[in-house]
Amino acid sequence: AQSVTQLDSQVPVFEEAPVELRCNYSSSVSVYLFWYVQYPNQGLQLLLKYLSGSTLVKSINGFEAEFNKSQTSFHLRKPSVHISDTAEYFCAVSDRFPTSGGYQKVTFGTGTKLQVIP
Amino acid sequence: DTGVSQDPRHKITKRGQNVTFRCDPISEHNRLYWYRQTLGQGPEFLTYFQNEAQLEKSRLLSNRFSAERPKGSFSTLEIQRTEQGDSAMYLCASSNTGGSTDTQYFGPGTRLTVL
C-alpha cells in the first residue's frame, strides 16, 4: 500500500521569501511523484512530476521539487514566492505498474495551504 | 485541447434526492476517473473507466453511487438517495494510455451540498 504525508497543513510566508512544502511517501514499489496545485473553488492543476531521470524537476512558474529515494521525499521549493502562489498544494504518488484493470493507482496527501503574506 | 469540463459546478439538494453530474474529458483521452474530495483532505479515488469499461471501483463507492461512460467519451456520476455525508467536491480527471505514465488532468469539480 502506498501513502503520502504532508506534515504541514498550512504554511504562511512573506512575499518574495523562499518556501519549502514537505512531502514524504511510502510505497513498496517504484513510483511516480506529482505535485498538484488547487486554487479556491477550482480543480487540481498539475504543477510538476517526476517520472525518471534527473531527480530535480521544475515547473514553468519557478517551483522545483527533488526526488530523494533514500529519504522517500519529494519536497516542493520556490526561491521567491508571489501573492499569486497562494493556493493549496497536493503531493501525490503513483505506482509505476498498473493494477490488473490497467489503473495506475494515485494516492494524494492531505494538502498544504500556502498563504503568501504581502 | 479545451481541458476537462464538469457540469454543474455547484449543486445544492435536499437529503433523499437523486443527483447526476457530468464530466467531459480531454477529447483524445481514453481513461477517465472520478474522485471525491472533502474539506481538508486530498482527492479520494472512486472509480475508473478505460473507454466505456468501468475497470476499478473503490469501496468508497456505495451502492447508491453509479457511474457510466456509455460511448467512451463523457461520463456521468449519479448519487441516489443523497445523504448529508455525500456533501463534497466531486472531481473528474482524464488521461491517455499513449505515454509512459498515467498523468491525470483534472476538471474544476462539482461541489455538492446536501441539506
The whole-number pLDDT of residue B1 equals 54
**CA closest to B32 among chain A residues:** A103
Q: Is A100 exposed, middle or buried (0-12, 13-18, 19+ CB in 10 A)?
A: exposed
Q: At residue B100, does pLDDT exceed 60?
A: no
Lowest mean pLDDT among A46-50, B93-97, B106-110: B93-97
Distance CA A57, CA A53 (A): 9
Q: For residue B11, give the C-alpha cell.
A: 449543486
Residue B15 — very low, low, confident or very high, per pLDDT cuts 50/70/90?
A: very high
Q: At residue A109, does pLDDT exceed 70?
A: yes
**CA closest to A112 among chain B residues:** B40
The whole-number pLDDT of residue B99 equals 58
CB under 8 Å to A113, separation ≥6 — which residues?
A9, A10, A11, A87, A88, A89
Cis bond upstream, residue B8 (ω within 30): yes
Name B34's bridge partners.
Answer: B47, B92
Distance CA B100, CA A85 (A): 30
Distance CA A29, CA A82 (A): 36
Contacting residues of B for A92, CB less than 8 Å apart: 42
The partner residue sitting opposite B42, judged by closest CB among A102, A104, A110, is A110
Question: How much is the average pLDDT of B84-93?
Answer: 95
Q: Which residue has the higher pLDDT, A21 or B99?
A: A21
Mean pLDDT (chain B, rounded) = 91
* Residues B107, B92 contacting (CB under 8 angstroms): yes
The whole-number pLDDT of residue A96 equals 74
Optimal mutation site among A7, A23, A44, A57, interface B, most CBs of chain B within 10 A: A44
**C-alpha to C-alpha distances, B93 to A52, A65, B43, B78, nearest whole angstrom:** 23, 23, 11, 16
Lowest mean pLDDT among A96-100, B2-6, B9-13, B27-31: A96-100
The partner residue sitting opposite A43, judged by closest CB among B31, B91, B102, is B91
**Proportion of chain B above pLDDT 90, given as a percent:** 70
Distance CA B92, CA A44 (A): 10
* CB-CB under 8 Å, A98 with B48: no
B42 min Cα distance to partner chain A (Å): 5
Contacting residues of A for B4, CB less than 8 Å apart: 43
Residue B102 — very low, low, confident or very high, per pLDDT cuts 50/70/90?
A: low
Contacting residues of B for A4, CB less than 8 Å apart: 42
- A32 touches B at CB < 8 Å: yes
Distance CA A48, CA A91 (A): 10
Question: How much is the average pLDDT of B12-34?
Answer: 95
Mean pLDDT (chain A, rounded) = 91
The whole-number pLDDT of residue A43 equals 83
* Residues B47, B33 contacting (CB under 8 angstroms): yes
The partner residue sitting opposite A43, judged by closest CB among B45, B100, B109, is B109
- A84 touches B at CB < 8 Å: no
